Structure 1
Amino acid sequence: MSTITESVEVGVPVTDAYNQWTQFETFPRFMEGVEQVRQLDDTHMHWVTKVGGVTREFDATIVEQIPDQCVSWRSDAGPDHSGKVTFDKVDARTTRVTAKMNIDPEGFVENVADKLGVLDRRVKGDLKRFKEFIEERGGRETGAWRGSVESTTEQSTAQGPSTRAGKPGAGIRPGEPGVSGLVPDDPDSGGLSPKTDPRPPL
Protein backbone atom coordinates (compact mmCIF):
# COMPACT_ATOMS: atom_id res chain seq x y z
CA MET A 1 0.00 0.00 0.00
CA SER A 2 1.35 3.42 -0.97
CA THR A 3 0.21 6.91 0.04
CA ILE A 4 -0.05 9.78 -2.44
CA THR A 5 -0.84 13.33 -1.35
CA GLU A 6 -1.49 16.17 -3.78
CA SER A 7 -3.07 19.64 -3.41
CA VAL A 8 -4.43 22.34 -5.69
CA GLU A 9 -5.84 25.80 -5.08
CA VAL A 10 -9.19 26.29 -6.78
CA GLY A 11 -10.59 29.74 -7.56
CA VAL A 12 -14.05 29.15 -6.09
CA PRO A 13 -15.50 29.42 -2.56
CA VAL A 14 -15.06 26.36 -0.35
CA THR A 15 -18.77 25.50 -0.45
CA ASP A 16 -18.80 25.40 -4.26
CA ALA A 17 -15.68 23.21 -4.42
CA TYR A 18 -17.07 20.81 -1.81
CA ASN A 19 -20.53 20.68 -3.40
CA GLN A 20 -19.05 19.71 -6.77
CA TRP A 21 -16.95 16.93 -5.25
CA THR A 22 -20.09 15.36 -3.74
CA GLN A 23 -21.37 14.74 -7.29
CA PHE A 24 -19.44 11.50 -7.72
CA GLU A 25 -21.08 10.59 -11.01
CA THR A 26 -19.26 13.55 -12.64
CA PHE A 27 -15.82 12.10 -11.74
CA PRO A 28 -15.24 10.65 -15.25
CA ARG A 29 -15.32 14.23 -16.58
CA PHE A 30 -12.02 15.06 -14.83
CA MET A 31 -10.54 11.80 -13.50
CA GLU A 32 -8.27 9.95 -15.89
CA GLY A 33 -9.03 6.25 -16.22
CA VAL A 34 -12.44 6.51 -14.53
CA GLU A 35 -15.04 5.22 -16.96
CA GLN A 36 -18.08 5.43 -14.69
CA VAL A 37 -19.12 6.08 -11.10
CA ARG A 38 -22.65 5.06 -10.19
CA GLN A 39 -24.18 6.32 -6.94
CA LEU A 40 -25.99 3.39 -5.32
CA ASP A 41 -27.16 5.28 -2.24
CA ASP A 42 -25.85 8.05 0.02
CA THR A 43 -22.81 6.05 1.16
CA HIS A 44 -22.14 3.51 -1.60
CA MET A 45 -20.74 3.83 -5.13
CA HIS A 46 -19.87 1.46 -7.96
CA TRP A 47 -16.72 2.34 -9.93
CA VAL A 48 -15.59 1.24 -13.39
CA THR A 49 -11.95 2.09 -14.18
CA LYS A 50 -9.71 1.40 -17.15
CA VAL A 51 -5.95 1.60 -16.65
CA GLY A 52 -3.33 0.17 -18.97
CA GLY A 53 -6.05 -1.39 -21.09
CA VAL A 54 -7.44 -3.33 -18.10
CA THR A 55 -11.01 -2.64 -16.95
CA ARG A 56 -11.82 -3.13 -13.28
CA GLU A 57 -15.08 -2.73 -11.36
CA PHE A 58 -15.45 -2.35 -7.61
CA ASP A 59 -17.70 -0.92 -4.93
CA ALA A 60 -16.66 1.76 -2.44
CA THR A 61 -18.18 3.13 0.75
CA ILE A 62 -18.17 6.72 2.00
CA VAL A 63 -16.86 6.38 5.55
CA GLU A 64 -16.87 10.05 6.56
CA GLN A 65 -18.29 13.22 5.07
CA ILE A 66 -18.46 16.65 6.70
CA PRO A 67 -19.91 19.53 4.63
CA ASP A 68 -17.25 21.99 3.42
CA GLN A 69 -14.51 20.00 5.17
CA CYS A 70 -13.88 16.47 3.91
CA VAL A 71 -14.97 13.33 2.08
CA SER A 72 -13.40 9.93 2.92
CA TRP A 73 -13.98 6.54 1.30
CA ARG A 74 -12.63 3.01 1.07
CA SER A 75 -13.03 0.20 -1.43
CA ASP A 76 -15.18 -2.76 -0.37
CA ALA A 77 -13.49 -5.30 -2.66
CA GLY A 78 -11.32 -5.42 -5.75
CA PRO A 79 -8.46 -2.88 -5.98
CA ASP A 80 -7.36 -2.02 -2.44
CA HIS A 81 -7.59 1.71 -1.91
CA SER A 82 -8.95 4.42 0.33
CA GLY A 83 -8.76 8.17 0.28
CA LYS A 84 -9.65 11.45 1.88
CA VAL A 85 -10.20 14.80 0.18
CA THR A 86 -10.15 17.91 2.37
CA PHE A 87 -11.33 21.42 1.58
CA ASP A 88 -9.63 24.39 3.27
CA LYS A 89 -10.75 27.99 2.85
CA VAL A 90 -7.84 30.16 1.70
CA ASP A 91 -9.98 33.25 1.27
CA ALA A 92 -13.54 34.08 0.19
CA ARG A 93 -12.87 33.02 -3.40
CA THR A 94 -10.11 30.40 -3.06
CA THR A 95 -10.12 26.85 -1.72
CA ARG A 96 -7.24 24.44 -1.20
CA VAL A 97 -8.29 20.92 -2.19
CA THR A 98 -6.01 18.17 -0.86
CA ALA A 99 -6.30 14.52 -1.88
CA LYS A 100 -4.62 11.84 0.22
CA MET A 101 -4.84 8.43 -1.44
CA ASN A 102 -3.83 5.06 0.01
CA ILE A 103 -3.47 2.82 -3.03
CA ASP A 104 -2.20 -0.63 -3.91
CA PRO A 105 -0.33 0.15 -7.16
CA GLU A 106 -0.56 -3.45 -8.32
CA GLY A 107 -4.33 -3.20 -8.32
CA PHE A 108 -4.49 -0.11 -10.50
CA VAL A 109 -1.60 -0.10 -12.97
CA GLU A 110 -0.82 -3.06 -15.18
CA ASN A 111 2.59 -3.73 -16.76
CA VAL A 112 4.10 -0.37 -15.83
CA ALA A 113 7.54 -0.26 -14.21
CA ASP A 114 7.08 2.97 -12.22
CA LYS A 115 3.60 2.21 -10.88
CA LEU A 116 3.69 4.70 -8.02
CA GLY A 117 5.01 7.46 -10.26
CA VAL A 118 2.18 6.86 -12.73
CA LEU A 119 -0.43 7.07 -9.98
CA ASP A 120 1.17 10.17 -8.47
CA ARG A 121 0.97 11.98 -11.80
CA ARG A 122 -2.57 10.77 -12.29
CA VAL A 123 -3.79 12.16 -8.94
CA LYS A 124 -2.04 15.47 -9.65
CA GLY A 125 -3.65 15.59 -13.10
CA ASP A 126 -7.10 14.76 -11.70
CA LEU A 127 -6.91 17.68 -9.27
CA LYS A 128 -5.76 20.02 -12.04
CA ARG A 129 -8.67 18.94 -14.22
CA PHE A 130 -11.09 19.35 -11.29
CA LYS A 131 -9.79 22.91 -10.88
CA GLU A 132 -10.38 23.60 -14.57
CA PHE A 133 -13.79 21.93 -14.50
CA ILE A 134 -15.22 24.02 -11.65
CA GLU A 135 -13.47 27.29 -12.58
CA GLU A 136 -14.67 27.11 -16.18
CA ARG A 137 -18.19 26.88 -14.81
CA GLY A 138 -17.62 30.07 -12.84
CA GLY A 139 -17.98 28.16 -9.59
CA ARG A 140 -21.42 26.89 -10.54
CA GLU A 141 -21.44 23.35 -9.21
CA THR A 142 -23.51 20.71 -11.02
CA GLY A 143 -25.22 19.74 -7.76
CA ALA A 144 -24.76 19.40 -4.02
CA TRP A 145 -25.23 16.96 -1.17
CA ARG A 146 -25.23 18.76 2.16
CA GLY A 147 -25.80 15.78 4.39
CA SER A 148 -23.09 14.30 6.58
CA VAL A 149 -21.67 10.82 7.06
CA GLU A 150 -20.49 10.01 10.54
CA SER A 151 -17.78 7.39 10.77
CA THR A 152 -18.11 4.56 13.32
CA THR A 153 -16.03 1.44 13.93
CA GLU A 154 -18.57 -0.76 12.17
CA GLN A 155 -20.28 1.39 9.56
CA SER A 156 -21.05 4.90 8.42
CA THR A 157 -24.43 6.52 8.91
CA ALA A 158 -25.70 9.12 6.44
CA GLN A 159 -27.61 12.09 7.82
CA GLY A 160 -29.34 14.67 5.69
CA PRO A 161 -31.16 14.86 2.36
CA SER A 162 -30.50 12.53 -0.55
CA THR A 163 -29.44 14.94 -3.30
CA ARG A 164 -26.46 13.30 -4.95
CA ALA A 165 -26.19 12.85 -8.70
CA GLY A 166 -28.80 10.55 -10.15
CA LYS A 167 -31.48 11.24 -7.54
CA PRO A 168 -31.88 14.99 -7.03
CA GLY A 169 -34.26 16.19 -4.37
CA ALA A 170 -35.21 12.84 -2.93
CA GLY A 171 -36.67 13.21 0.54
CA ILE A 172 -36.23 17.01 0.72
CA ARG A 173 -38.40 19.06 3.01
CA PRO A 174 -37.72 22.81 3.45
CA GLY A 175 -36.30 23.49 6.89
CA GLU A 176 -35.38 19.87 7.48
CA PRO A 177 -32.20 19.48 9.59
CA GLY A 178 -29.17 19.05 7.35
CA VAL A 179 -30.78 20.67 4.31
CA SER A 180 -28.62 23.79 4.76
CA GLY A 181 -31.00 26.18 3.03
CA LEU A 182 -31.79 23.98 0.04
CA VAL A 183 -35.34 24.07 -1.24
CA PRO A 184 -37.03 22.44 -4.24
CA ASP A 185 -36.97 24.27 -7.57
CA ASP A 186 -39.67 23.52 -10.13
CA PRO A 187 -41.65 20.59 -8.69
CA ASP A 188 -41.59 18.94 -12.11
CA SER A 189 -37.79 18.98 -12.27
CA GLY A 190 -37.11 17.75 -8.74
CA GLY A 191 -34.03 19.97 -8.65
CA LEU A 192 -32.60 22.03 -5.81
CA SER A 193 -31.10 25.45 -5.45
CA PRO A 194 -30.03 27.62 -2.50
CA LYS A 195 -32.85 29.90 -1.36
CA THR A 196 -30.78 33.04 -1.92
CA ASP A 197 -29.07 31.96 -5.15
CA PRO A 198 -30.30 34.07 -8.10
CA ARG A 199 -28.67 31.82 -10.67
CA PRO A 200 -31.00 29.79 -12.90
CA PRO A 201 -31.11 26.03 -12.34
CA LEU A 202 -28.49 24.11 -14.32
Structure 2
Amino acid sequence: MSTLEEHIDVGVPIDTVWDSLHRVEDYPRFVEGVREVRTEAGGRARLEVEADGRVRELEAEVSDRRGEGVMEWHTTGAPELVGSVSLKPIDENHTRVQARLEYDPGAIREALGGPKGFAQANAIERLVRSDLEHFKECVEQRR
Protein backbone atom coordinates (compact mmCIF):
# COMPACT_ATOMS: atom_id res chain seq x y z
CA MET A 1 0.00 0.00 0.00
CA SER A 2 1.12 3.52 -0.76
CA THR A 3 0.26 6.44 1.49
CA LEU A 4 -0.39 9.99 0.39
CA GLU A 5 -0.90 12.94 2.73
CA GLU A 6 -1.81 16.44 1.62
CA HIS A 7 -3.17 19.45 3.46
CA ILE A 8 -4.61 22.85 2.76
CA ASP A 9 -5.57 25.79 4.96
CA VAL A 10 -9.03 27.28 4.47
CA GLY A 11 -10.31 30.65 5.65
CA VAL A 12 -13.38 29.47 7.55
CA PRO A 13 -14.03 28.14 11.07
CA ILE A 14 -13.69 24.42 11.74
CA ASP A 15 -17.46 23.88 12.24
CA THR A 16 -18.15 25.32 8.79
CA VAL A 17 -15.54 23.03 7.23
CA TRP A 18 -16.96 20.01 9.11
CA ASP A 19 -20.48 20.76 7.85
CA SER A 20 -19.23 21.20 4.28
CA LEU A 21 -17.33 17.92 4.44
CA HIS A 22 -20.61 16.17 5.23
CA ARG A 23 -22.57 17.70 2.32
CA VAL A 24 -22.11 14.70 0.09
CA GLU A 25 -24.29 16.23 -2.62
CA ASP A 26 -21.47 18.77 -3.15
CA TYR A 27 -18.74 16.17 -3.72
CA PRO A 28 -19.09 16.30 -7.52
CA ARG A 29 -18.17 19.99 -7.26
CA PHE A 30 -14.76 19.33 -5.72
CA VAL A 31 -13.81 15.65 -6.12
CA GLU A 32 -12.57 14.94 -9.64
CA GLY A 33 -14.45 12.12 -11.32
CA VAL A 34 -17.25 11.84 -8.75
CA ARG A 35 -20.57 12.15 -10.54
CA GLU A 36 -22.92 11.37 -7.64
CA VAL A 37 -22.83 10.36 -3.98
CA ARG A 38 -25.67 8.74 -2.07
CA THR A 39 -25.64 8.07 1.65
CA GLU A 40 -27.18 4.92 3.04
CA ALA A 41 -28.02 3.61 6.48
CA GLY A 42 -25.26 2.28 8.68
CA GLY A 43 -22.59 4.79 7.68
CA ARG A 44 -22.41 3.63 4.09
CA ALA A 45 -22.10 5.69 0.94
CA ARG A 46 -22.26 4.86 -2.77
CA LEU A 47 -20.20 6.89 -5.19
CA GLU A 48 -20.62 6.93 -8.94
CA VAL A 49 -17.15 7.64 -10.31
CA GLU A 50 -16.01 8.28 -13.87
CA ALA A 51 -12.35 7.55 -14.57
CA ASP A 52 -10.48 6.81 -17.78
CA GLY A 53 -13.74 6.99 -19.74
CA ARG A 54 -15.51 4.37 -17.60
CA VAL A 55 -18.19 4.79 -14.95
CA ARG A 56 -17.95 2.65 -11.82
CA GLU A 57 -19.84 2.49 -8.57
CA LEU A 58 -17.85 2.32 -5.36
CA GLU A 59 -19.23 1.59 -1.93
CA ALA A 60 -17.60 2.94 1.20
CA GLU A 61 -18.08 2.74 4.94
CA VAL A 62 -17.70 6.07 6.67
CA SER A 63 -17.15 6.85 10.33
CA ASP A 64 -16.91 10.15 12.16
CA ARG A 65 -15.02 11.24 15.20
CA ARG A 66 -16.46 14.74 15.38
CA GLY A 67 -14.88 15.52 18.75
CA GLU A 68 -11.48 14.87 17.15
CA GLY A 69 -12.41 16.46 13.80
CA VAL A 70 -11.79 13.25 11.85
CA MET A 71 -13.83 11.52 9.17
CA GLU A 72 -12.52 8.09 8.08
CA TRP A 73 -13.65 5.89 5.22
CA HIS A 74 -12.74 2.75 3.34
CA THR A 75 -14.10 1.07 0.26
CA THR A 76 -15.86 -2.24 0.78
CA GLY A 77 -14.77 -3.73 -2.56
CA ALA A 78 -12.14 -3.24 -5.22
CA PRO A 79 -10.21 -1.11 -5.45
CA GLU A 80 -9.21 -1.05 -1.79
CA LEU A 81 -8.91 2.54 -0.63
CA VAL A 82 -8.58 3.76 2.93
CA GLY A 83 -8.75 7.44 3.71
CA SER A 84 -9.31 10.09 6.29
CA VAL A 85 -9.84 13.81 6.50
CA SER A 86 -8.68 15.52 9.68
CA LEU A 87 -9.54 19.08 10.64
CA LYS A 88 -7.41 21.21 12.94
CA PRO A 89 -8.25 24.77 13.91
CA ILE A 90 -5.51 27.27 13.11
CA ASP A 91 -7.45 30.08 14.77
CA GLU A 92 -11.15 30.88 15.08
CA ASN A 93 -11.47 31.69 11.36
CA HIS A 94 -9.01 29.30 9.72
CA THR A 95 -8.82 25.51 9.53
CA ARG A 96 -6.19 23.06 8.28
CA VAL A 97 -7.69 20.22 6.23
CA GLN A 98 -5.43 17.13 6.18
CA ALA A 99 -6.27 14.36 3.70
CA ARG A 100 -4.68 10.92 3.95
CA LEU A 101 -5.12 8.17 1.37
CA GLU A 102 -3.80 4.61 1.43
CA TYR A 103 -4.00 2.71 -1.84
CA ASP A 104 -2.47 -0.02 -3.94
CA PRO A 105 -1.26 1.64 -7.17
CA GLY A 106 -1.73 -1.55 -9.21
CA ALA A 107 -5.29 -2.05 -7.99
CA ILE A 108 -6.13 1.59 -8.74
CA ARG A 109 -4.77 1.29 -12.26
CA GLU A 110 -6.63 -1.96 -12.85
CA ALA A 111 -9.94 -0.63 -11.52
CA LEU A 112 -9.85 2.98 -12.67
CA GLY A 113 -7.15 3.17 -15.36
CA GLY A 114 -4.41 5.73 -15.63
CA PRO A 115 -0.63 5.70 -16.00
CA LYS A 116 1.75 3.11 -14.54
CA GLY A 117 4.34 3.30 -11.78
CA PHE A 118 5.76 6.60 -10.61
CA ALA A 119 3.66 8.52 -13.15
CA GLN A 120 0.53 7.15 -11.49
CA ALA A 121 1.70 8.22 -8.02
CA ASN A 122 2.31 11.72 -9.37
CA ALA A 123 -1.11 11.76 -11.03
CA ILE A 124 -2.85 10.69 -7.80
CA GLU A 125 -0.92 13.31 -5.82
CA ARG A 126 -1.94 16.04 -8.30
CA LEU A 127 -5.54 14.82 -8.19
CA VAL A 128 -5.73 14.95 -4.37
CA ARG A 129 -4.06 18.40 -4.33
CA SER A 130 -6.56 19.64 -6.94
CA ASP A 131 -9.51 18.21 -5.00
CA LEU A 132 -8.33 20.02 -1.85
CA GLU A 133 -8.01 23.30 -3.79
CA HIS A 134 -11.55 22.86 -5.15
CA PHE A 135 -12.85 22.00 -1.66
CA LYS A 136 -11.27 25.20 -0.32
CA GLU A 137 -12.96 27.27 -3.05
CA CYS A 138 -16.30 25.59 -2.40
CA VAL A 139 -16.14 26.12 1.38
CA GLU A 140 -14.90 29.70 1.22
CA GLN A 141 -17.50 30.70 -1.39
CA ARG A 142 -20.30 29.32 0.77
CA ARG A 143 -19.39 31.75 3.58
Same fold (TM over 0.5): yes
Q: Deviations over 1:124-161 (max 9, x none)?
A: 100000000011111xxxxxxxxxxxxxxxxxxxxxxx
Structure 2 residue ranges without an equivalent (≥5) = none
After the TM superposition, which residues 102-181 of structure 1 pair with which residues of structure 2 at under 5 Å, given as runs? 102-109=102-109, 110-113=113-116, 114-138=119-143
Residue of structure 2 in register with 1:7 after alignment: 7
Q: 1:12, CA displacement in angstroms?
A: 0.2
Matched residues in 1 for 2:114 and 2:134: separation?
Answer: 25
Greater per-residue helix proportion: 2
Contact 1:63 / 1:74 at 8 angstroms: preserved in 2? no
Provide the alpha-carbon RMSD of the alignment.
1.5
The one-letter amino acid paired with 1:29 is R
Does the residue aligned with 1:102 lie in a helix, a strand or coil?
Answer: strand
Contact 1:25 / 1:39 at 8 angstroms: preserved in 2? no
Q: 1:7, CA displacement in angstroms?
A: 0.2
Q: Deviations over 1:106-128 (max 9, x none)?
A: 34341413111111110010000
Residue of structure 2 in register with 1:76 after alignment: 76
Residue of structure 1 in register with 2:39 after alignment: 39
Matched residues in 2 for 1:111 and 1:26: separation?
Answer: 25
The one-letter amino acid paired with 2:70 is C
In the superposition, the TM-score normalised over structure 2's length comes to: 0.89
The one-letter amino acid paired with 1:50 is E
Matched residues in 2 for 1:111 and 1:62: separation?
Answer: 26
Q: 1:25, CA displacement in angstroms?
A: 2.6
How many residues align? The count is 138
Change (3 A) 1:92 1:61: same
Q: 1:41, CA displacement in angstroms?
A: 2.3
Q: 1:68, CA displacement in angstroms?
A: 6.2
The one-letter amino acid paired with 1:112 is P
Q: 1:37, CA displacement in angstroms?
A: 1.0
Asked which structure has the greater RCO (Cα within 8 Å, sep 6+), the reply is 2
Change (3 A) 1:104 1:48: farther
The one-letter amino acid paired with 1:37 is V
Residue of structure 2 in register with 1:151 after alignment: none
Residue of structure 1 in register with 2:16 after alignment: 16
Greater per-residue strand proportion: 2
Larger radius of gyration: 1
